[in-house]
Structure 1
Amino acid sequence: MSVVSIFLIALGLAMDATVVSLTLGIRACKENKVTTGIKAGLYFGGFQGLMPLIGWMLGKNFTEYITSIDHWIAFALLSIIGGKMLIDAFKEEEEEACIMDYSTKLYLTLAIATSIDALAVGISLAFLNVNILTAVTFIASITFVLSFIGVITGEKVGSLVKNKATVLGGLLLIFIGVKILIEHLGVSEVLLSFFK
């Protein structure tokens, strides 16, 4: 597999983490923006690099078990966090205060939710002629950089939407969860599953 192919895979895997980082940046306090960006980059980049490595080690023996539930886990985690953000937004009547530091639990939950797809990618890499350390390094590095940029640019998005930042962030997280579910199941299967 070429370096360009690995780069494109890394870029694709980093997109969800970038959007989630943008939502973190919307509410992060200005004076703590760089620290938040570094933490988001480390958590998201770390998990995006770790998951393909785990997937690669698991190989084809467990593919069907992982890919049959990974999208449901990501959907549930992102929807719960996004839903909580929406509830919190409607509880707040005054202008939203910025968040000085997000909890480790939140970083871990979001990192796991946005990197589950990378586990499946790692499994597929086990069947290709690829240097897994090069692939993991690319994936982790690109995710780190894009997550950091997402947090830093989140402030600009936040200033555009004023006190609706939490609503926007919650909706974005739910949207990512639904997108992951639809990509894995297909639109018709998702719709049918709601009517069963």
Structure 2
Amino acid sequence: MSPLTIGVLAISMSVDAFIASLGRGAGETRPGFLRAVKTGAVFGVVEMVTPLIGWGLGMAASAWVQAVDHWIAFALLGAVGTHMLFQALFGHADAAPHAPGLRATLLTAIGTSIDAMAVGVSLALLDANIFIIAAAIGFTTMVMSASGILAGRWLGRSFGRVMESLGGIALIGMGGLILFEHLAV
């Protein structure tokens, strides 16, 4: 794969993590730079590991992984998105927005990286250097997720619960779109 192809792949694999991070940043009271980097690191590491897992599974059993990856992504993104939406709509009005815990961040990162696992399965069929590609995807996701947290912070000051609601809806929509794309084929 050419460097341009790897770059485009890395950006495309990172967009959903960026959108999820926007919603997360909007839901936090004052996420600072360090918080954004930590969240970005979680998303980046997960997004880097999943194509490696997919590649390994693709080498072993690509048909099985491709048969269920969309259901896993749908379930994880739907659950996290529904939780975000519920918190935004029905959370206590006097409660300040909060930073999600490591568990919620990790579940969101896993949900947004299932597509990277499917890409890893596909890369198993090519003669591509999976380690360079996975590192590029992980780094790009880290930068985009940290940027999303910081941009979400700014949007959260102005739009607060609306942005958190939109983030939840976006995650549910991504899960539904992944499921639809796989079932429509």
Q: Do they fold alike, i.e. is TM over 0.5?
A: yes
Residue 166, structure 1, aligned to residue 164, structure 2: yes
Aligned to 1:178: 176
Deviation of 1:39 after TM superposition, in Å, equals 2.0
Deviation of 1:93 after TM superposition, in Å, equals 5.1
Residue 146, structure 1, aligned to residue 152, structure 2: no
User: For residues 3 and 49 of structure 2, what CA distance do their matches in structure 1 show?
Assistant: 19
Residue 78, structure 1, aligned to residue 77, structure 2: yes
Deviation of 1:58 after TM superposition, in Å, equals 2.5
Deviation of 1:165 after TM superposition, in Å, equals 3.3
- Of 160-169 and 119-128, more deviation after overlay is shown by 160-169
CA contact (8 A) 1:85 1:169 kept: yes
CA contact (8 A) 1:14 1:143 kept: yes
- Of 132-141 and 78-87, more deviation after overlay is shown by 78-87
Aligned to 2:126: 128
TM-score, structure 2 as length reference:
0.90
Give the partner amino acid of 1:104: L
Secondary structure of 2:88's counterpart equals: helix
Secondary structure of 2:97's counterpart equals: coil
Following TM superposition, the consecutive aligned residue runs of length 4 or more in structure 1 with deviations greater than 4 angstroms are none
User: For residues 182 and 45 of structure 2, what CA distance do their matches in structure 1 show?
Assistant: 24
Secondary structure of 1:116's counterpart equals: helix
User: For residues 87 and 43 of structure 2, what CA distance do their matches in structure 1 show?
Assistant: 24
CA contact (8 A) 1:95 1:163 kept: no
| Structure 1 gap segments, 5+ residues each | 190-196
Aligned to 1:192: none
Tell me the percent identity: 37
Secondary structure of 1:5's counterpart equals: helix
User: For residues 62 and 18 of structure 1, what CA distance do their matches in structure 2 show?
Assistant: 30
- The verdict on how the C-alpha distance between 1:114 and 1:162 changes in structure 2, with shifts beyond 3 A counting, is closer
- Of 145-154 and 132-141, more deviation after overlay is shown by 132-141
User: For residues 128 and 109 of structure 1, what CA distance do their matches in structure 2 show?
Assistant: 29
TM-score, structure 1 as length reference:
0.86
Q: Deviations over 1:17-38 (max 9, x none)?
A: 11111111101222x3323311
Deviation of 1:95 after TM superposition, in Å, equals 5.0
Deviation of 1:112 after TM superposition, in Å, equals 1.1
- The verdict on how the C-alpha distance between 1:139 and 1:168 changes in structure 2, with shifts beyond 3 A counting, is same
Aligned to 2:153: 155
Residue 88, structure 1, aligned to residue 83, structure 2: no
Secondary structure of 1:140's counterpart equals: helix
CA contact (8 A) 2:28 2:156 kept: no
Residue 16, structure 1, aligned to residue 16, structure 2: yes
Secondary structure of 1:128's counterpart equals: coil
Q: Deviations over 1:60-97 (max 9, x none)?
A: 43111111111111111111122222222332352551
Aligned to 1:69: 68
Aligned to 1:51: 50
For this pair of structures, how many residues does the alignment match?
Answer: 185
- For the aligned residue pairs, the C-alpha RMSD in angstroms reads 1.8
- The verdict on how the C-alpha distance between 1:88 and 1:59 changes in structure 2, with shifts beyond 3 A counting, is closer
| Structure 2 gap segments, 5+ residues each | none
- The verdict on how the C-alpha distance between 1:66 and 1:171 changes in structure 2, with shifts beyond 3 A counting, is same
